[in-house]
Amino acid sequence: MHLNYSKGESLITWEIIPLGNFTSVKLTHEGIEKFADAGIDFARENYEVGWKEIVGKSLKGFLEK
């Protein structure tokens, strides 16, 4: 089943930055405001919380498998 919440489109850019023995990941999500027609669930604050969870916690565990 495919649900259409919004007609908006956005651009997500991942930057992988080597820092010696470490790697930094920078995520930029542009165009979130284009989802305003989908309601409060698609507010910028919700994306910020979601991306912080994915990049800050889930991604590390996924990559270490």
CA distances from 5 to 2, 26, 42, 53, 54 (A): 10, 27, 9, 22, 21
The pLDDT tens digits along the chain (65 residues) read: 556 788 889 999 999 999 999 989 899 999 999 998 998 989 999 999 999 999 888 988 888 88
pTM here is 0.75
How many of the other CB atoms lie within 10 Å of CB of 50? 11
Beta strands in 1-65 (DSSP E): 11-19, 22-30
Q: Are 47 and 29 in contact (CB under 8 A)?
A: yes
CA distance 2 to 15: 30
